[in-house]
């Protein structure tokens, strides 16, 4: 029996595909890969990755070994890079699934080379997908540090038998087109690559979503589109050129009237100066609808903006619908929490965070509807 659901998350797979095609066209002749880490930024890798493959994507990036193993089941022929490196795992686990770790230190390079270059036994048994080398050029998270980069340049023997498939780095400020950090990192990365005892044609990559919009010098041989695929703005303080991908709608569960002096929610953090009408929806921080939106977030009903009042609780959020006609805010009426009038970026700003966190926190209790009509766990 197909029963009504109080909360629905709609994911527009066609918008994701269109965003990919636009970015791929923008960076030609460079290749456009796709980051599908964190369950495709919270939107469901099982649906999103095949949609990207149908749109023409051939190279994918995940964060962890487990994500890579799961993605390989979905895309048997794709190139899959694992951004977090070996993560203390046995290199053979990567080789068995033809996953390509982004090696991020000399010890990781040594572990890989000992298993597949110096030993060579696995190479004779079956082909091993070549790894990437990830160089830190200023973000100071993962990546081969500067002193280790100097050793790789000074000691060409590191590359005896090791032929990386990709040289990569990551920009720290790519969402700010005016940041001088971008040019410094690009120069540092190009200098490192030029100094390595590797063929000049070895593909390079430094740009993720924001870097794509910094222009051709940053495109190199490959870009790694991520957030922009899912509708997030690639640049700060600039118009967002990407199609929106998600819509989160909840049905009103209850409408009530309160009087002058009444409060709402835990801690009684909001008191009313006069009579008001409140509508409660079944979404809370257990669903990834952030508690930080308490008394500062908004939603939309029939195109009209309504404020969140009181604290967002685990399963419920309350809206002040006093200014709406009673017919517009009745039990069962749809409330837009994310959608045409409020992007993930806008909601994130109200919560004091970013659109990335909004998307990756989207909960599992929502009924998920994909634009092709399929619903997670059932039919649309």
pLDDT digit string (tens) for the chain, length 380 residues? 577 789 999 999 999 999 999 999 999 999 999 999 999 999 999 999 999 999 999 999 999 999 999 999 999 999 999 999 999 999 999 999 999 999 999 999 999 999 987 655 544 455 688 999 999 999 999 999 999 999 999 999 999 989 999 999 999 999 999 999 999 999 999 999 999 999 999 999 999 999 999 999 999 999 999 999 999 999 998 999 999 999 999 999 999 999 999 999 999 999 999 999 999 999 999 999 999 999 999 999 999 999 999 999 999 999 999 999 999 999 999 999 999 999 999 999 999 999 999 999 998 899 999 988 444 443 33
Q: CA 167 → CA 72, 209, 216, distances in Å?
A: 22, 18, 17
Instruction: Mark whether 211 and 256 lie in a shared domain.
Output: no
Partnered with residue 224 across adjacent β-strands are 33
- Tell me whether residue 266 is one of the annotated catalytic residues: yes
Instruction: For residue 322, report the phi and psi dihedrals to the nearest 5 degrees.
Output: -55, -35
How are beta strands 304-307 and 298-301 bridged, if at all? antiparallel
- Tell me whether residue 163 is one of the annotated catalytic residues: no
- How far is residue 91's CA from residue 87's CA, in Å, rounded to a whole number? 10
Q: Residue 248, Cα to own-chain centre: how many angstroms?
A: 17
Helix 13-27, helix 45-54: angle, nearest 10: 50
- How far is residue 247's CA from residue 249's CA, in Å, rounded to a whole number? 6
End-to-end CA distance of the chain: 12
Token couple for 344? 């993930």
Domain containing residue 256: 246-379
Last residue of a domain, one of 229, 257, 281: 229
49 domain residue, yes or no: no
How are beta strands 276-281 and 246-258 bridged, if at all? antiparallel
Beta strands in 148-245 (DSSP E): 166-168, 204-205, 222-225
Instruction: Mark whether 280 and 171 lie in a shared domain.
Output: no
**Nearest in space to 108 (alpha carbons), one of 73, 69, 78, 136:** 136
16 domain residue, yes or no: no
How many residues in total does the chain contain? 380
pTM of the model: 0.93
From the candidates 41, 124, 266, 370, which is the catalytic residue? 266
Partnered with residue 136 across adjacent β-strands are none
Q: Considering its fold, how many domains does the chain have in total?
A: 2
DSSP conformational letter for 103: E
- How far is residue 18's CA from residue 224's CA, in Å, rounded to a whole number? 16
Instruction: Mark whether 184 and 282 lie in a shared domain.
Output: no
Instruction: Mark whether 184 and 256 lie in a shared domain.
Output: no
From the candidates 20, 28, 37, 97, which is the catalytic residue? 37
Last residue of a domain, one of 200, 229, 258: 229
178 domain residue, yes or no: yes
Instruction: Mark whether 158 and 282 lie in a shared domain.
Output: no
């Amino acid at each position: 029996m197909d029963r009504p659901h109080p909360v629905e998350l709609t994911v527009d797979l066609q918008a994701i595909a269109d965003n990919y095609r636009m970015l791929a066209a923008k960076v030609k002749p460079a290749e456009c890969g796709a980051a599908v880490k964190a369950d495709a930024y919270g939107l469901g890798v099982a649906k999103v990755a095949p949609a990207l493959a149908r749109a023409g994507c051939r190279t994918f990036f995940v964060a962890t070994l487990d994500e890579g193993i799961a993605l390989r089941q979905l895309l048997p022929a794709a190139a899959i890079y694992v951004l977090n490196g070996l993560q203390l795992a046995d290199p053979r686990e990567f080789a068995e699934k033809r996953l390509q770790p982004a090696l991020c230190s000399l010890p990781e390079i040594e572990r890989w080379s000992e298993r597949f270059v110096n030993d060579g036994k696995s190479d004779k048994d079956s082909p091993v997908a070549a790894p990437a080398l990830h160089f830190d050029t200023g973000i100071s998270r993962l990546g081969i540090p500067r002193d280790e980069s100097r050793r790789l340049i000074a000691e060409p023997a590191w590359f005896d038998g090791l032929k990386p498939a990709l040289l990569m780095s990551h920009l720290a400020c790519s969402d700010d087109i005016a940041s001088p950090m971008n040019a410094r990192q690009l120069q540092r990365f190009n200098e490192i690559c030029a100094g390595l005892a590797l063929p000049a044609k070895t593909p390079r990559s430094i740009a993720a979503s924001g870097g794509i919009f910094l222009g051709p010098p940053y495109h190199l041989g490959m870009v790694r589109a991520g957030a922009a695929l899912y509708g997030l703005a690639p640049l700060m303080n600039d118009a967002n050129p990407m199609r929106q991908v998600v819509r989160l709608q909840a049905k009103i569960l209850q409408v009530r009237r309160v009087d002058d002096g009444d409060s709402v929610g835990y801690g009684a953090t909001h008191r009313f100066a006069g009579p008001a009408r409140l509508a409660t929806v079944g979404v809370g921080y257990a669903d990834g609808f952030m508690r930080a939106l308490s008394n500062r977030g908004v939603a939309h009903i029939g195109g009209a903006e309504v404020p969140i009042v009181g604290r967002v609780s685990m399963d419920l959020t309350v809206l002040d619908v006093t200014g709406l006609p009673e017919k517009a805010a009745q039990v069962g009426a749809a409330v837009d929490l994310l959608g045409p009038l409020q992007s993930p970026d806008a909601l994130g700003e109200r919560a004091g965070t970013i659109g990335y966190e909004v998307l990756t926190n989207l909960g599992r209790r929502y009924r998920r509807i994909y634009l092709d009509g399929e619903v997670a766990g059932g039919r649309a």
